Amino acid sequence: MKPSTKKQIKSGLRLGLGVGAFWIAAMLVGVGADVLQSTAPGRLPLWPDGAVAGALIALAAVILILTARVWVIYLAGCLLFAVPKLVIVIASGRDFYSPRGPFSRLEAAELGLFVLASLFLMYRIFANRIPTVVDRLAISLYLVCFAFSFRGHFSVFAPWQIVGLAALLVAWYFSRRKHRRQSAIEIGASE
């Protein structure tokens, strides 16, 4: 087998395992959240159901952080496919895609702004480098906030969206600061 074929096989396996781990983590979070929400309102089960649900969610968080480089590409692709749909809703004023009921132009515009800001920050963070621990934590927090943001009507000013975008913004700031510091060191070394 040629070296390029081996490289393609490894890349494909890494991609498949990463996306598979992402979906396993999503299922673990779903099971854990169902257990925590199945009790009476205002009561949190501690033992054994609460402990098992907490362990499932913690395991899912570890999986998400370890495989962030792979599933962030999948998430960005899903967000990218949402842009034309949002443009259609904004232009026509009719919702052809939402199974949850009416979707106004204002909501579509807010969601479009959120998606474009998210895509920009994801690209700026993950474009040409391996993600750091801060990047992985930020994108995992963004994913959790993104998942919780669709419980009601979407608004850019909702706390979940603000926290998710703030996490990406902080990761972008740290990557930018690190890049500037490395550029300054390289310029100083070449003089």
Whether residue 123 is predicted with pLDDT greater than 70 in this model: the reply is yes
Output DSSP code: residue 47.
T
Residue 94 neighbours by CB distance under 10 Å: 11
Query: 80 pLDDT band (50/70/90 cuts)?
Result: very high
Give me the residue spans of the domains in the chain.
1-66, 71-191
- pLDDT of res. 188: 67
Average pLDDT, the chain: 81
Q: Stretch 172-188: mean pLDDT, rounded?
A: 75
In whole angstroms, how large is the CA radius of gyration of the chain?
A: 20
> Which residues have C-beta within 8 Å of that of residue 163, sequence separation ≥ 6?
141, 145
User: What angle is formed at CA 13 by the lines to CA 11 and CA 15, rounded to 5 degrees?
Assistant: 70
> What does the alpha-carbon distance between residue 132 and residue 152 come to, in Å, rounded to a whole number?
33
- pLDDT of res. 63: 92
Whether residue 24 is predicted with pLDDT greater than 90 in this model: the reply is yes
Whole-prediction pTM value? 0.76
